[in-house]
């Protein structure tokens, strides 16, 4: 469900109650479309999250703080300049419009007080966060809209701010009331009731419209013309109740879960239309509800956005490498015919006197075959038969060298392809901006991209992921190739157990034995960690090799993360992330 105008009406009061008179302590901009205001009030510090992301535009108090980039974007610097220390004086909404206005009392450069407004327009792909000056003009926005894109409503610095246009043909339940909305719905005959409510109203999501139709008719697809008198009475009562909740702010934060435990809908009142196909849970507040609903989804999307440039680098490198390998294999196939070149040279040398000068071919007997067949040898008529023979010998030697060199190049290319696969696997599992930054540094060290020069010191490398087996053995898991090398070749002791998915990209795993013998249960749990932190995390019966760390070594000149090993055994496990989560140490 999208955050609609009705939900926003309830949220407005919650935010105003919690944050009015709080001051802006800090402002972060985790990504281009997100802002976090650290608000300090009488009750302590609250974190106000503002998002203009297309898939999840919203405003609420959050418990989760995304990683903050080392260098703040320009829009963040502007917000800090104007709003640092400002006091929130009002949280406003116009009817059930999907726009929230945050008024701040700030001081300008001369020390005079002035009211600035942050407009949070939460409208899907048109969502925006806009800073408006005391004169009503736009200071800047997360998404600038030029005159060419929107001649009637540009959003540019210096242009007067205009609220989003209203849909004149729709009624606002908050302003018009339940009876007026029901009359509008009655006029849409031969239309499914839920569609008629959605088409007639402004600020009500499809979820609420379906719920209203379900309460009124027991079936959201019932036509308005087929709705009975009792049905109209139930619809009016439901819409009246809905407006009453908005007026009294008696909201019930309600989150719906699928049978597999995945949240898929949220509302400010209980939802009944799904019956036994969903379970509901009441949250402590509307902000807490939004946190729970979007937390995992947002984190994945945020990390993907930060890693998009790396995905492009990897894809470009893999495509270029695939084309290069294909050409090398084709050339290798051609060099496989080199023995024919030597045969032609030998046969020409044996028949020099029989080949007339200027001939473009020579039919000679192949004495190397038992039946002595006649072979036609193509010639260059501009040179002698002896010179043609030397040309064939030269082509033979060239092909022989090419086969050797191409074999080495193809082997190196295959190793590079496997390396890029391991980086892609680590990137797909990266859970923080620090992990993405370390992968970026690894690719830069390998010459795949260039990092901008920075005077700031790079943060310390992340430690390996730490787990503890049910038997009390520490287990370490590498986050990327360079850390895998450090963990396996520097950190691990000879008697520690090293594990890795067999012929599958993944993390190096070390069981720290401390001289003890690791029991089978610990090896199984370590193998589970290796499988979960690999490209086969979604598979079953994943093969995992394990051996003592003393039997693992790195070939000279090998790519990061590349090792060879012996004395290994193989264990098969089915990845289960819940088991691994229980083993993780704080």
Q: Is 357 domain-assigned? A: yes
- Examine the pLDDT at 81 and tell me if it is beyond 70: yes
Using the 3D structure, point to which of 397, 415, 433 is the last residue of a domain.
415
Residue 137: left if φ>0, alpha if ψ -120 to 50, beta else—which one? Answer: beta
Q: 470 and 577 share a domain? A: yes
Q: Give the tokens for residue 257.
A: 């879960």
Instruction: State how many domains the chain has.
Output: 3
DSSP label at 549?
Answer: G
pLDDT digits (tens, 9 = 90+) for 402-421: 888 888 889 889 999 999 99
- Kindly state whether residues 475 and 411 are assigned to the same domain: no
Q: In the prediction, which pLDDT does 450 show?
A: 86
User: Which has the closest alpha carbon to 88: 62, 108, 110, 117?
Assistant: 117
On whether residue 405 sits in a domain, the answer given is: yes
CA 489 to chain CA mean position, Å:
31
Phi and psi at 292, nearest 5°, equal -65, -40
* CB neighbour list of residue 499: distance below 8 Å, 6 or more residues apart: 508, 509, 510, 511, 523, 526, 527, 529, 530, 544, 545, 546
Q: Are residues 128 and 34 in the same domain?
A: yes
The model's pLDDT over 4-25, given as tens digits with 9 standing for 90+, comes to: 999 999 999 999 999 999 999 9
What was the pLDDT predicted at 119?
A: 97
pLDDT band at 460 (very low <50, low <70, confident <90, very high): confident
pLDDT at 543 over 90: yes
Q: How far apart are CA 34 and CA 59, in angstroms?
A: 10
* Cβ-based neighbours of 83, under 8 Å, separated by 6 or more: 24, 27, 37, 104, 106, 116, 118, 131
Q: Which region among 259-263, 276-280, 468-472, 526-530 has the lowest average model confidence (pLDDT)?
A: 259-263
**What backbone phi and psi angles, to 5 degrees, belong to 233?**
-65, -40
Same domain, 577 and 481: yes
| pLDDT exceeds cutoff 80 at 305 | no
For residue 506, is it within any domain?
yes
Measured in whole angstroms, the distance separating CA 220 from the mean position of its chain's CA atoms is 36
Task: With CA atoms as reference, report the closest residue to 288 among 251, 321, 315.
Answer: 251
Same domain, 17 and 134: yes
Alpha carbon separation from 189 to 194, 209, 563 (Å, rounded): 12, 16, 72
If asked whether residues 405 and 484 sit together in one domain, one would say no
| Domain boundary pick from 89, 112, 141 | 141
Q: What is the mean pLDDT of residues 384-394?
A: 88
Contact status, residue 560 vs residue 481, Cβ threshold 8 Å: yes
Look-up of token digits 């199984």: 524
Mean pLDDT taken over the chain? 90
Q: pLDDT at residue 59 above 80?
A: yes
Average pLDDT over residues 481-495: 94
pLDDT at 242: 92
Residue 323 lies in a domain: no
Region 238-264 average pLDDT: 87
| Residue 327 φ then ψ, to 5° | -65, -40
Enclosing domain of residue 374: 333-415
Cα separation, 115 vs 440, whole angstroms: 42
Nearest to 239 by CA among 292, 196, 191: 196
- Percent over 90 (pLDDT), the chain: 58
H or E segment and range at residue 268: none
Structure tokens at 226: 């087929």
pLDDT > 70: percent of the chain: 98
Lowest mean pLDDT among 217-231, 391-405, 477-491: 391-405
Burial class (CB in 10 A: 0-12, 13-18, 19+), 112: exposed
Residue in 67, 33, 66, 69 with CA at minimum distance from that of residue 51: 33
200-230 pLDDT tens trace: 999 999 999 999 999 999 888 899 999 999 9
Q: Which two tokens stand for residue 18?
A: 């919690």
- For Cα atoms 270, 271, 276, give the angle at the middle one, nearest 5 degrees: 120
Residue 200 lies in a domain: no
Tell me the residue ranges of DSSP E strands in 480-520. Answer: 497-501, 509-512
Residues 398 and 469 in one domain: no
pLDDT confidence of 498, banded at 50, 70, 90? very high
Regarding whether 128 and 11 lie in a shared domain, the answer is: yes
pLDDT, tens digit (0-9, with 9 covering 90-100), for 343-373: 778 888 888 878 888 888 888 888 888 888 8
321 domain-assigned: no
Same domain, 12 and 109: yes
What is the model's pLDDT at position 287?
A: 94
Instruction: List beta partners, residue 281.
Output: 255
The per-residue pLDDT for range 308-317, each reduced to its tens digit, is: 889 999 999 9
Among candidate residues 415, 430, 457, the one where a domain is terminated:
415
- Residue 146: predicted pLDDT: 93
Strand extents, DSSP E, 334-458: 361-365, 374-378
User: Are residue 398 and residue 523 in the same domain, yes or no?
Assistant: no
pLDDT computed for residue 457 by the predictor: 64
Inter-axis angle of helices 193-200 and 206-217, nearest 10 = 130
Whether 365 is covered by a domain: the verdict is: yes
Please tell me the predicted confidence (pLDDT) of residue 351: 85
d(C-alpha 92, C-alpha 308), whole Å: 36
Q: Is there a single domain that holds both residue 388 and residue 497?
A: no
Q: Give per-residue pLDDT as tens, 102-151.
A: 999 998 887 889 999 999 999 988 999 999 999 999 999 999 999 999 99
Taking 60 as the threshold, does the pLDDT of residue 1 lie above it? no
Region 274-294 average pLDDT: 89
Q: According to the model, what pLDDT value does residue 532 have? A: 95
Q: What is the CATH number of the domain that holds 56?
A: 2.30.310.10
In-domain check, residue 475: yes
Q: What is the pTM of this model?
A: 0.63
pLDDT value of residue 455: 59
Is residue 490 located within the same domain as residue 405?
no
């Amino acid at each position: 469900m999208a955050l609609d105008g009705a939900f926003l009406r309830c949220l407005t009061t919650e935010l105003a109650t919690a944050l009015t008179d709080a001051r802006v302590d800090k402002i972060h901009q985790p990504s281009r479309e997100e802002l976090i205001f650290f608000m300090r009030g009488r009750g302590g510090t609250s974190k106000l999250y503002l998002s203009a992301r297309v898939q999840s535009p919203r405003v609420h108090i959050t418990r989760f703080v995304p990683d903050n980039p080392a260098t703040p974007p320009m829009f963040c610097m502007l917000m800090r300049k104007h709003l640092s220390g400002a006091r929130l004086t009002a949280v406003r909404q116009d009817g059930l419009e999907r726009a929230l206005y945050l008024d701040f009392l700030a001081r300008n450069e001369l020390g005079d007080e002035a009211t600035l407004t942050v407009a949070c327009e939460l409208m899907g792909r048109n969502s925006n966060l806009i800073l408006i000056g005391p004169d009503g003009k736009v200071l800047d926005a997360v998404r600038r809209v030029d005159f060419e894109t929107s001649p009637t409503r540009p959003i540019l610095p210096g242009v007067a701010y205009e609220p989003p246009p209203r849909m004149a043909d729709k009624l606002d339940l908050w302003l018009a009331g339940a009876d007026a909305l029901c009359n509008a719905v009655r006029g849409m005959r031969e239309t499914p009731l839920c569609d008629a409510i959605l088409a007639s109203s402004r600020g009500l999501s499809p979820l609420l419209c379906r719920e209203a139709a379900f309460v009124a008719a027991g079936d959201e697809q019932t036509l308005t013309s087929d709705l009975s008198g009792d049905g109209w009475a139930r619809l009016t009562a439901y819409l009246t109740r809905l407006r009453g909740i908005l007026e009294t702010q008696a909201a019930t934060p309600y989150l719906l879960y699928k049978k597999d435990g995945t949240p898929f809908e949220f509302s400010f009142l209980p939802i009944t239309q799904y019956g036994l196909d969903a379970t509901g849970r009441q949250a402590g507040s509307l902000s807490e509800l939004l946190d729970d609903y979007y937390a995992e989804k947002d984190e994945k999307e945020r990390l993907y956005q930060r890693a998009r440039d790396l995905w492009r680098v990897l894809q470009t490198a893999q495509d270029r490498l695939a084309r290069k390998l294909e050409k090398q294999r084709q050339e290798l196939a051609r060099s496989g015919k080199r023995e024919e070149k030597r045969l032609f040279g030998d046969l020409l040398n044996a028949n020099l006197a029989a080949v007339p000068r200027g001939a473009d071919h020579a039919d000679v007997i192949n004495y190397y075959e038992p039946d002595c067949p006649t072979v036609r040898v193509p010639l260059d008529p501009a040179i002698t038969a002896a010179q043609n023979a030397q040309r064939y010998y030269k082509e033979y030697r060239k092909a022989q060298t090419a086969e050797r060199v191409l074999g080495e190049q193809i082997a190196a290319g295959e190793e590079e392809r496997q390396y890029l696969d391991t980086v892609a696997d680590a990137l797909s599992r990266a859970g923080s901006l620090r992990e993405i930054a370390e992968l970026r540094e690894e690719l830069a060290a390998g010459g795949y991209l260039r990092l901008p020069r920075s005077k700031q010191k790079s943060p310390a490398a992340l430690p390996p992921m730490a787990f503890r087996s049910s038997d009390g053995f520490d287990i370490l898991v590498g986050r990327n190739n360079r850390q895998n090398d450090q963990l396996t070749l520097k950190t691990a002791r000879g008697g520690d157990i090293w594990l890795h998915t067999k012929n599958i990209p993944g993390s190096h795993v070390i069981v720290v034995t401390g001289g003890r013998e690791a029991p089978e249960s610990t090896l199984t749990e370590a193998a589970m960690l290796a499988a979960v932190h690999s490209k086969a995390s979604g598979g079953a019966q994943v093969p995992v090799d394990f051996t003592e760390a003393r039997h693992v070594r790195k070939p000279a000149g090998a790519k990061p993360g590349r090792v060879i090993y012996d004395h290994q055994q193989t264990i098969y496990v089915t990845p289960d992330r819940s088991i691994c989560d229980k083993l993780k140490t704080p």
